[in-house]
A and B are shown apart, each in its own frame.
Chain A
Amino acid sequence: MAAKINGPLLKVEDLTLRYLTRGGEVRAVEGVSFELEQGQALGLVGESGCGKTSVANSLMRLLPDNARLAGGQVWLRGEDIFALEEDEVREYRWRRVAMVFQAAMNSLDPVYKVGQQIVEAIEAHEIEGTISAARERVARLFRLVGLDPALMDRYPHEFSGGMRQRAVIAMALSCDPAVIIADEPTTALDVIVQDRILRELKAIQQQLNMAIIYISHDIAVVAEVTDRIGVMYAGHLVEYGNTADVFRAPLHPYTDALLGSFPSVTGERRPLAGLSGEPPNLIDPPAGCPFHPRCPRATQICQEEFPPQAWEGTQWAKCWHPMNAGAEAPSDVELEAASDVGIVEQSAHGEGG
């Protein structure tokens, strides 16, 4: 293991990523910064296309050919991961950072036995000296994720969706990574299976004192399993803080709208406001704050300049008119100025009626 260096386990600073496409340059990730400590769970939430999966792939150094790192750095235990050579990357992946993919079916090869695939992963990274030691390790991992070790010699198609997801988690754990990235780990699963998997992941994380990043569009899942949450919109990390704080009092209007988009089985049955409009085109994102065309609090300045961080304790949001500054909500004069460009009209539509 690498030597301990003072500072956070994982530090992402100003990560900026572009994809070159036929239509132009997609600004997928824009200046994303966050830190993660040992044993912490971070949730990254946002709509599809907001850049959360791109951030995960950058951390894994698993980027498609047309991706271009336009800026920023990622340090794991003080080591700059973008400075790693190709052969070091293989070592880095799985041993330092491992990923639990969204579609469990696709990350298991259908023609090999499930146990064998994990044994091979262990061998490839030279974790255990012998095959029998590797098999023993896989049996331990199977028990850890709640699978019968007797299932090691079965093929993926003999597993149910939940079992496959567990096997994929076992595989991710196989090389003792410092950080696990779970990209929508339970999206395709039924709610009872999802509940079990999430409980097990959380238990394992606490038992092994691992750091874990959950990527999800389901804020209820993130609320239950994480201590920190980052909300992404149009490639930007727009809000970050303790999960409890963010859920109790979101600063960014987008977070507020997102939280208001989910019906609940408990509490008062209330109308959901949701969000109006569509997320911006990332080839040509709007000037200023990217959320301004959909934002009920948007004013003139939101169209012109990208907002600075607004803090509330350890929680921050990139917003000109954060929700904690009730008094700073746009005045009538500002609204009038904004109506020239049709913003008021749209936000009025959004509130709907």
Chain B
Amino acid sequence: MAITGTEPLHTGALLSVAGLTKRFPVGRHLFRKATSFIHAVDDVTFDLEPGGSLGLVGESGCGKTTVGKLLVKLLEPTSGEILFRLPGLADHAVPDDPSELNEPAVDSASIEGRQLRAFRRRAQMIFQDPYESMNPRRTIYDTIAEPLSVQGMGTLLDRVDRVSEILDQVGLTPPATFLFRHPHELSGGQRQRVAIARALVVGPSFVVADEPTSMLDVSSRTGIMNLMQGLAQDLGVAYLYVTHDLAVARYMCHRIAVMYSGKIVEIGETEELLKNPRHPYTRALLSAVPLPDPGSTREPPDIRGELTAPIDPPARCRFFDRCPMATENCRTSPHPPTEEKSPGHWVACYEV
């Protein structure tokens, strides 16, 4: 069975992405329309259940960060839809209990104005670079309280209390010693804790985490991963974890989606996907991960060539040029549909 863009939102899903596509024009000018496009995200479809976690894994330039930005409306899709079932979106009011999920689905494209504000309380993002994702002139208090103050939530004193409380939750204790520091006085790990606090301070139901540990030192990475996982579990937050590292995705997520050149090529439960990788790209990616075990030997990944940017790509399978299993059928047919090869394990490949 193929997933198409027309299926209704799965019952119980927090968000449902169908046929999501984003193209960026190449070489556009003020008075000239672009003729070439980078197909950054192409016909991407997946669901995320409340409190669930999905790891979006791929090499740099595969479109994984673009998917994340589309989900939090930092970018608008070229086509396709994102349906949200977030509390407080449909009726313009934010209920106190975010666990209520008998919400009608709302199309992301229709969210604007007051509804956008409600959306910003329910969907948040943690950015990759802890050094650049905070305004260097603003204090930790200003940074964390920003979502509260721009949305007019609570009085000044409520906000100070709330920020102190969340600082405590992310392990920056005692909060009073951190409130009025500037980001440059904190270590990378501490800053990423602030970033987590900023995302969680409004009580979201859904967070996009864009490689939050990739720029951190080894010793702070584990702490950040454990903190995120624990808080998400305690607060019932679902998250999309964007990463290039399969091992990190495995540690952090229930499910993993592997992206290649704007397409999701394989998606499934974490352990199932890693034990039985089906797509030739997933296999190559998995076999390229170095193992922290000096005795072991790995076969070299079975993949040819190098990654190229998907500028006006041909209609056939995106992985064709690098695939060790490519056939004549792969050359002449369109990009393969995503099919369920075993329960919950979807693969986009003609040959597996």
Task: Name A's B-contacting residues (CB within 8 A).
Answer: 47-48, 160, 162-163, 190-196, 198-199, 217-221, 223-224, 243-244, 247-248, 257-266, 269, 271-276, 278-279, 352
Interface presence of B187 (CB below 8 A): yes
Contact between A265 and B222, CB atoms less than 8 A apart: no
Give the top 8 A-B pairs by smallest Cβ distance, nearest first: A274-B222, A263-B251, A220-B290, A275-B219, A195-B288, A190-B59, A220-B292, A263-B247
Question: Is A266 in contact with B291, judged by CB distance below 8 angstroms?
Answer: yes
Chain B min CB distance to A295 (Å)? 13
**B:177-232 near A, CB below 8 Å:** 187, 189-190, 217-223, 225-226
A265 touches B219 (CB 8 A): no
Closest to B229 in A: A271
> How many A-B contacts at CB < 8 Å in the complex?
115
Assembly CA distance A220 to B293 (angstroms): 7
Q: Does B312 sit within 8 A of A, measured CB to CB? A: no
Whether the Cβ atoms of B218 and A217 lie closer than 8 Å is yes
* CB-CB nearest in chain A for B222: A274
Contact of B247 among A194, A258, A262 (CB under 8 A): A262
Which of chain B's residues has its CB closest to A188's CB? B60
Q: Which residues of A contact B279 (CB under 8 A)?
A: none
Question: A264, B288: Cβ atoms under 8 Å?
Answer: no
A-B contacts, 22 listed (Cβ < 8 Å): A47-B217, A162-B306, A190-B59, A191-B59, A192-B59, A192-B284, A192-B288, A193-B306, A194-B290, A217-B217, A223-B293, A224-B294, A248-B294, A257-B219, A261-B219, A263-B225, A263-B247, A263-B251, A264-B291, A269-B250, A274-B219, A276-B223
Specify which chain A residues have a CB less than 8 angstroms from the CB of B109 in the assembled complex: none
* Distance between Cα atoms of A209 and B294 in the complex (Å): 20
Complex interface: chain A residues within 8 A of B292 (CB):
219-220, 223, 247, 259, 262, 264
What is the distance, in angstroms, from B303's C-beta to the closest C-beta of chain A? 6
Question: A192-B301, A218-B290, A223-B292 in contact; A265/B225 too (CB < 8 A)?
Answer: no
B74 in the interface (beta carbon within 8 A): no
A257 to B221, CA, bound (A): 12
Judged by a CB distance under 8 angstroms, whether B71 is at the interface is no
Q: In whole angstroms, what is the CA distance A278 to B284 when docked?
A: 36
Give bound CA distance, A306 to B290, whole Å.
35
**Chain B contacts for A276, CB-based, 8 A:** 223
B26 CB to closest chain A CB, in angstroms? 17
B-side contacts of A275, CB under 8 Å: 219, 222-223
Within 8 Å CB of A193, what residues of B?
306
Which residues of A have CB within 8 Å of B293? 223, 247
Docked CA distance A276–B189 (Å)? 11
Other than A223-B294, A278-B220, give 6 A-B pairs with Cβ distance below 8 A: A47-B218, A160-B306, A219-B218, A263-B248, A263-B250, A269-B250
